[in-house]
Amino acid sequence: MVSSLACKKNLVFINMTEIISTNKTIAKNTLLTYVRMLFNLIVSLYTSRVILQVLGVDDLGVYQVVGGIVSIFTFIGGAMAGATSRFLAYEIPLGNIDRLKKTFAASLNVNLISAVLFALVAETAGVWLVLNVLSIPPDREGAAMIVYQFSILSTILTFIQTPYNATLIAHEKISVFAYIGILDTLLKLLICYLVVVLPMDKLVAYAILISLTGATIQFIYWVYCRRHFEECVFSWKFDKEIMKPLLTFSGWDLFNNFCFGIKQQGLNILLNTFFSVAINAACGFSNTIYATVRGFANNFMISVRPVITKCYSIKDYGRMQELIIDSSNFSFSLMLLLSMPFFFEGNFIVTLWLKNPPEWTVIFCQLQLATCIIAVLFSPIYYGIVATGKNKLYAIQDSLLMVLSLPITYFFLKAGYSPLVPFIVLIVIELIKSNLYVYILKKNISEYKISNFYRKSVLPCCIIALLCISFTLLCSLFFKQSGWLRFIIVSLSSTLSIGILSYYFLLNIYYKQQFRQKIHSIFFSN
């Protein structure tokens, strides 16, 4: 009896130590990923501008729409990445190295098989779409096909990379993930220079260099994981006990990601059909802004996601709910902070960025950011669902809503409405599916309290958004002419209001104390 009590005390101590350690790890990992993202943002804005100037609007539009065809089929890699990361993170705190090895091997084998299937589909159905459906200038059809083939190669490499990337995240080795990401960005910066100086078709050169960069990054991931993680061993053996839940989980994610790919490329095809490649170029730039800005919020989730899964693994539901609420509030505040200048000074920012942006670029970016703000608020709920391994319900829900957006969009575009319609439809869809996430998580974990999330996260975040928009709008009215002064005033006023309101409305007592102690140590220490 005494021995049993001693064991329980030790277990509690271990768990508490793990939680404290995890908090420090999250903070460290978040800082590293933000450094990576800040660097990536600066370089991405510069490279986008250079590539637009070098390729031109039409060639860039061709690259966006042709490369986008391949993205229809990348849903497989996305499904396996989520499944691998979830199952590895679930097993790590349990300490079963044998199951870790089997999980990794199963994931790698499925990805290799998927890569072969992807190549077959892409070289048949995909080629037919490029040649018969897309609106490509006749003199660029040859270059478009070369772009398509190298896009296929890049995607195959992504399939192979997926299990290694997921292993890094599951082990919370975010520093390595960040450093490799910075290297990837530097290589893309080099691509900008090489595209300019190489004596060949610029569009073809760009596609080839992007593929070579992907191959380099894949090799680095492979070398690191092989040297540092015992479970990263290739084996053709299939364990039914491991494979069944992995395939079930990834199967529903596969279906969901497939529908997302259909939705994403369906949007590109609809815009291309009803308008022109210039609209595709504008949409591509808005996607760049969306991906870059959301990346900042997602970086925090990269650090938190495996911890949420580990909390579920050891049935620490209280800690799990705390992480979901805190990460939701933090992600929302960061997203709002990054988006506010764009809402008020979009024309100034885009012109500064691209010099001569395609028409509709600014409003596309603003609507994409509105969608992103909604998505990041509820994204921790999504990762809570993923942690449970019960993804059937949300996969069906998401898939139906995403596919439904296409006929709705087609109806409005056919009726003569503007290219803004698809983005407005996506905002409505995001609102519906995000709120449904909360009820799905409650169904999977009966201990989860829905009211806590809406009371501690959704409601205060909405209040903060309204107050910040009102205050920033008031400040911007004093400067009627767009320029650097108005941009600086808008940025400072939005940053100040978001910071103060987030402190009072979103931070719990513990984090407020930590913040005050940090400020006191900086300004009042001897």
pTM value surpassing 0.85: no
User: According to the model, what pLDDT value does residue 311 have?
Assistant: 84
Q: Give the per-residue pLDDT at 181.
A: 80
Two structure tokens written together for 234? 């290739």
Predicted pLDDT at 70: 67
* Tokens matching residue 232: 């990263």
CA distance 283 to 457: 31
C-alpha span between 337 and 333 (Å, rounded): 6
Q: What is the pLDDT of residue 1?
A: 41
Q: Residue 141 is which amino acid?
A: E
The domain spans of the chain are 22-519
Give the model's pLDDT for residue 466.
92
| pLDDT recorded at residue 18 | 42
Could you report the average pLDDT of every consecutive run of 10 residues in the chain (526 residues)? 40 38 59 70 70 69 68 62 74 74 82 82 77 72 79 82 80 78 84 81 81 87 85 75 78 79 80 78 80 72 80 84 87 87 86 79 88 90 87 86 89 86 90 91 86 90 91 81 83 88 77 66 60
What the block records as the tokens of 346 is 């979009």
Q: Which two tokens stand for residue 73?
A: 């089929």
Residues 6+ apart with CB under 8 A from 109: 235, 236, 238
Q: DSSP alpha helices (H): ranges in 389-508? A: 392-414, 421-444, 450-453, 459-476, 484-505
